[in-house]
Amino acid sequence: MTANADNPVSFHSPPRVLCADGARSRIAPLCCSLGWRHALVVTDRWFVQHSPALAQLLAALHEAGIATTVFDGGEPDPSTTLVDQATAWVREQGAPPDHLIAWGGGSNIDLAKALSLTIPCTCPVADLVGHTHWPAAPLPLVAVPTTAGTGSEITPGAILVQPGSATKVALMANALRPAVAVIDPELTWSCPPRVTAEAGLDALTHAIESWLTADARDFDTEGDADPGYSGRNELTVMFARQATALGFQHLAAAFERPQDRAARNGMARASLYAAMSYATAGLNAVHGLAYALAGLTHASHGSTNAVLLPYVMDALVDVRRDELADIALLAGAAPGDADALARSAPVRMRDLVRRVGLADNLALCGIQAAQLPRLVADGLAVRRLAKAWPGRRADEAYERIVHNAFLGKLSGCEH
């Protein structure tokens, strides 16, 4: 994207980002210097049972004079029910915490974000969804991701499964952005290959989807004076481009060699930079349709993004030709004709999805042809995402994307 005075820049910088191998050792001294005295550590049983790094953090907090309460009931894709149960459990423990530390993948971070709000608000989380002004401010949160993918440590949202809803719901407001993001690539070394692949494709989706999304000048903020997402601008594109480059460079190596320090470091940065982009620019069709797909299949977030991303890219070869040609170069293509390069970008993306062992068409995800209209309708119903579609007629585009994703059809390759 060239410099464009007509496209306004607004940007949400996270308050503190620490990103380095070993950065976790800075958590206890930092919490101490911020004057916090009682941490609610939100994690899951795997870490309590298998992570020496978590045990070291708890010891360091104790040494720093910070009391800890550990909630280890985190689950993949937290639900509103889990949030309410965890809130009740925290209340039963007595003295309330003055901050939270989320330790785990995007699921544990989102659970902690929701708890940072339900603990002071003392009401069911469902009463808070859909609002941006709440009865109380969220407690400060230190987010420590152990996967390289979601970027939830930077974003204003907590994504929750609501029993009975076709898609996930979101708690969303700038006040929910974590106070501190601690990205320590060493914590991702223990990720099983499948988690590495799914999270890594989630990061690449964030980078590319936010790179291709609606410009800030065209984004409908619906009169919100402080929107969480507001369209792409030059600053978000800088982060998106760097994240895309790092993702193509490092994902296959991190998947194939879990203890490859450079690859893990590269993916941690890809995830962080992708979040720096989408946490302002926002997302559109991949995530909208992925939420609908997860509603039908209960497949993981990263895998539902991965299967849709190439087909969404392909649907944008006309309106985002130059960006897609650039993406093809970052994926390793030789310079050449811009149209051909743009058409090759989705093919290269799908090659990477295959290489890390994920499904590359909807039929492989167990979707039947008869379910396609439902997918389109549920995807379009996530209005906050559909309204950011950068082309004309989101409804027609979603239909074409889903149809092609079912057949595995990309314009840049013959079948």
Ligand X SMILES: NC(=O)c1ccc[n+]([C@@H]2O[C@H](COP(=O)([O-])OP(=O)(O)OC[C@H]3O[C@@H](n4cnc5c(N)ncnc54)[C@H](O)[C@@H]3O)[C@@H](O)[C@H]2O)c1
Distance CA 281, CA 386 (A): 14
Q: Is 244 in the site for ligand X (CB under 6 A)?
A: no
Rounded to the nearest whole angstrom, what is the least distance from the CB of residue 147 to ligand X in the complex? 4
Q: Is 150 in the site for ligand X (CB under 6 A)?
A: yes
| Nearer of residues 160 and 405 to ligand X, judged by Cβ | 160
Binders in 158-187 for ligand X, by CB under 6 A: 158-159, 187
| Nearer of residues 250 and 343 to ligand X, judged by Cβ | 250
Q: Is 149 in the site for ligand X (CB under 6 A)?
A: yes
Q: In 16-73, which ranges are E strands?
A: 16-19, 38-42, 67-71
Q: Which stretch binds ligand X (CB under 6 A): 195-203, 242-250, 259-267, 372-380?
A: 195-203
Q: Is 87 in the site for ligand X (CB under 6 A)?
A: no
Instruction: Measure Cα distances from 224 to 219, 221, 242, 284 in Å.
Output: 12, 6, 30, 19
Amino acid at 380: L
Place of tokens 């950065």: 23
What SS3 state is found at 253?
Answer: helix
Q: Is 195 in the site for ligand X (CB under 6 A)?
A: yes
Q: Is 233 in the site for ligand X (CB under 6 A)?
A: no
Binders in 25-54 for ligand X, by CB under 6 A: 44, 46
Rounded to the nearest whole angstrom, what is the least distance from the CB of residue 345 to ligand X in the complex? 22
Q: Which of 8, 17, 20, 76 binds ligand X (CB under 6 A)?
A: 76
Contact 304, 395 (CB under 8 A): no
Q: Is 147 in the site for ligand X (CB under 6 A)?
A: yes
Name all contacts of 338-347 with Cβ < 8 Å and 24+ positions apart. Answer: 340/412, 342/317, 343/314, 343/317, 343/410, 343/411, 343/412, 344/412, 345/313, 345/412, 346/310, 346/311, 346/313, 346/314, 346/317, 346/410, 346/411, 346/412, 347/310, 347/410, 347/412, 347/413
Q: Which of 118, 146, 244, 280 binds ligand X (CB under 6 A)?
A: 146
Closest CA to 196 of 154, 258, 152: 258
Binders in 302-361 for ligand X, by CB under 6 A: 302
Q: How many residues of this chain interact with ligand X, rule: CB under 6 A?
A: 30
Q: Is 231 in the site for ligand X (CB under 6 A)?
A: no
Q: Which of 31, 53, 60, 106 binds ligand X (CB under 6 A)?
A: 106
Structure-token pair, residue 21: 């191998």
Contact 19, 286 (CB under 8 A): no
| Nearer of residues 87 and 146 to ligand X, judged by Cβ | 146
Contact 42, 178 (CB under 8 A): no
Q: Is 209 in the site for ligand X (CB under 6 A)?
A: no
Q: Name the residues that contact ligand X, by CB under 6 A.
A: 44, 46, 76-77, 104-108, 110, 146-147, 149-152, 155, 157-159, 187-188, 190-191, 195, 198-199, 202, 301-302
